[in-house]
Amino acid sequence: MHKSINHPHLPQPLRPDSWLACAWLAAKRFKSTPNRPPYKGRFAPSPSGLLHQGSLIAALASYIHAHWHGGEWLVRMEDVDQSRCTAAYGEAQLTVLRELGFEFDANVMWQSQRHDAYQAAFDMLSNHRHTYPCTCTRRDIADSRTRMDARNAQTPAYAGTCRKGINTHAPIRSWRFRVHDEPLIWQDENGIMHVDNLEHSVGDFALKRASLPQGAPQHTPEDGDWTYQLAVVVDDAAQGVTHIVRGEDLLDSTARQIALQRALNIPPPHYNHIPLLLNPDGDKLSKRDQAPALNALHGLEALQHAWCFLGGQPIEADYICDFWQSVFNWAPK
């Protein structure tokens, strides 16, 4: 829950303790800033299934944030994991977004077409000795160290076993980014300070995972699958993204991405993390757990639910276009 906000110009449909209220005030500050840079936001789903209500909340939050800031809204398909993602799911997601009234301000970017860009970033990091090969299996990592993640679940973390060298007779399983034993401090858009020591929280994290059959030797980074952390940093920079609005389940990825941005001399964007829609068991609603897919026939109802979840009062609207007109009319001047 956000801190209650008392502002004389806050639109009545926004609850003062909500994410929407904070987003409205952030947009008002942004618009009053002299010589402000152009705003670019984005929605970047993974096409590993159909969009669900949780996906819509993230899309709506980033879309409203972009429009209230007077900026552009981009869509990127994060299909870097080709074992789980398909073009068919991606096209289905784009179709639903368009049917619900979302308008894209640029062509959709697909991560599966971005190998050369990721390789160039990896080469730059390697040239500055930020990377190294690792032969550790998941079991090796789990046995050496665990950490508690943001959801209080045991998660394997890396203890730096291969940092000083590898067993040349074992296959390389990943290439890792070398982190430092020091606090990484960053501030989100709402002014909250975050501190993370990556050495203690996650250890050196993977940038690429080997794709050769188990037991096959591999000592060059030519084959393999790029990880989310590297791909998202490279793509946000390439698209000129200035503001990232996403679920709070990705909060613990932010420090890793900022570390990569610093190593690549990329200016960090502004970060804003929204609350998650949970299932009856208290877990994040997800495609992997077969969350019900969005149905465009009930699009207005789904948009209303997403709006209210973010902190808005119900909007009187008979059609989707009426819903969007009301939302845009409440943009700060």
Q: What is the pLDDT of residues 120-149, one digit of tens each?
A: 999 999 999 999 999 998 888 877 765 545
pTM score, whole prediction: 0.89
Choose between 33 and 51: higher pLDDT. Answer: 51
Query: Residue 281: pLDDT above 50?
Result: yes
Confidence label for 175 from pLDDT (cuts 50, 70 and 90): very high
92-116 pLDDT, tens per residue? 999 999 999 999 999 999 999 999 9
Interior angle at CA 107, CA 102 and CA 108, nearest 5: 75
The average pLDDT across 258-262 equals 98
Query: Residue 296: pLDDT above 50?
Result: yes
Confidence label for 10 from pLDDT (cuts 50, 70 and 90): low
Q: What share of the chain is helix, strand, coil (3-state, %, to 5)?
A: 35, 15, 45
pLDDT at 138: 84
185-218 pLDDT, tens per residue? 999 998 899 999 999 999 999 999 987 555 455 5
Domains along the chain with CATH numbers:
19-114+240-329 (3.40.50.620), 116-228 (3.90.800.10)
The average confidence (pLDDT) of the chain is 88
- Residue 91: its H or E element: helix 87-99
pLDDT at 197: 94
First to last CA, the chain: 26
pLDDT at 16: 84
**Could you tell me which of 271, 325, 17 has the C-alpha nearest to residue 25?**
17
pLDDT at 79: 96
pLDDT at 194: 95
pLDDT at 125: 98
Answer yes or no: are the C-beta atoms of 41 and 69 closer than 8 Å. yes
pLDDT at 1: 42
Confidence label for 87 from pLDDT (cuts 50, 70 and 90): very high
pLDDT at 222: 62
Q: Is the dihedral of CA 280, 284, 287, 293 positive or negative?
A: positive
> How far from 67 is each of 40, 209, 238, CA to CA, in Å?
10, 37, 21
Query: Residue 273: pLDDT above 50?
Result: yes
